[in-house]
Chains A and B, each alone.
Chain A
């Protein structure tokens, strides 16, 4: 059969960021896909040659406007690991509060984009309105809505008063009730199921072989979640990875729905269990220069991110590398679109929640 190549991207209604997939078609069916990125490669990793390690965390934050807090946290935690810095207790808890807030806002953003892509504009508006409430919390506690600059090597820059934390927990409780309403729509609406159920199925074995991470892997039945390492304070929280067995586009939606609910619960646990008392230390003063290397893993909203840092006893790092979750999920995405109709490709791409800024750094 004659083959046709249809380029999808770099501009496409479902792509908030530029990515090209050259889709090789036989009739309407995709038989292969070849990715091209590079439209927004900024060379952030190379900035270690010019930017001192004490400032590089602010560059790391700018890898992505959605995972910005966790990029900053990952960088600082990596330096802390190399230098053996003990982060104050309160700072560890606060980082987790912001990290889980990041997960909620990222998933709400994606659920909105997904709704818009499969033709449910009203749901998009509800999701993004809720996301605004999370951004309001970020603004009140960090001063920023996208870039926060609240992580420091050795801790955090700002505290959140106990009364404010209680208020955040209450706001999230109320948001959780309203979220349950829209989650019910995602779970039950026939038009959503019609577009997503049974589409883009990634079996567990293929997910493992493709190196899938995050909701992408968990929707295929793999109970992988870097938070299970128990690092950064997650060992003090009660949770299980959210796993769905379906492996299809719908399962990936369901995982993110449940993870929003899970993160709200984790923040409630954090607020309940955090040692009370304002005015506790939130930053350890760091002296000296880092020397050594580390691999650091965090569970971002899109999945496992791996930071590699190599320091040499100078102000400038020798290597900073961030392997982001979208980078790890692209091979799985390519294997998914094979065998599907062209019309299903946008939804399949969207359900991996691609972040091209993260991928290109």
Chain B
């Protein structure tokens, strides 16, 4: 991902008075196209009744810059991304160094960990779960 361009877009949301609503990560399982899998990350911003999203696909090991310079409250989401998914977030304002959650499994939502669990339950390959193509960007305000 283009970190500078991304952070500039995030800063624009902050300048326009938007609130960081949620950062969400979804693991994409390893496939022929993505041998290590990937992460689909969306940053959602709210203003009034509006909700907008930025979305990036990153591969394991790729650095994702923290948005805490614009939204200090992002540190919880970013620590969560790192601990549960193994996303390499850099520059987190409050770096909890792996102490936010105390999960028995290290990075339980990493693509590899999910793949191993699905293999163990015989559910790997069940349907389109491992599709490598990105989903279209969500644009709807659900339930409207």
Contacts and interface: CB of A to CB of B under 8 A. Distances in A.
B109 interface: yes
Contacts of A36: 96, 99-100
Contact of A37 (B101, B126, B127, B129): B101
A43 B26 contact: no
A306 interface: yes
A310 interface: yes
Given A231-B144, A294-B138, A38 B101 contact: yes
A38 B49 contact: no
B78 to A, nearest CB: 11
Contacts of A310: 26, 135
Main secondary structure of the interface of A (DSSP, over half): mixed
A34 B101 contact: no
Interface of B: 17, 19-22, 24, 26-27, 42, 44, 46, 48-49, 51, 53, 71-73, 75-76, 94, 96, 99-103, 108-109, 114, 117-118, 121, 123, 126-129, 131, 135, 138, 140-144
Given A295-B53, A296-B142, A34 B103 contact: no
Interface residues of A, number: 51
A244 interface: no
B144 to A, nearest CB: 6
Contacts of A38: 99-103
Given A36-B96, A49-B114, A297-B142, A229 B73 contact: no
Contact of B76 (A208, A313, A331): A331
Given A41-B101, A293-B138, A294-B138, A232 B21 contact: no
Contacts of A306: 21-22, 44
A39 interface: yes
17 contacts: A37-B101, A38-B102, A38-B103, A39-B102, A77-B143, A209-B71, A224-B19, A228-B49, A291-B128, A294-B142, A297-B51, A297-B143, A304-B21, A304-B46, A316-B126, A321-B24, A331-B72
Nearest to B109: A46
Task: Please name the 8 residue pairs, one residue from A and one from B, whose CB atoms are nearest each other, closest first.
Answer: A314-B127, A38-B102, A331-B73, A211-B73, A231-B143, A38-B101, A323-B22, A296-B142
Contacts of A80: 143
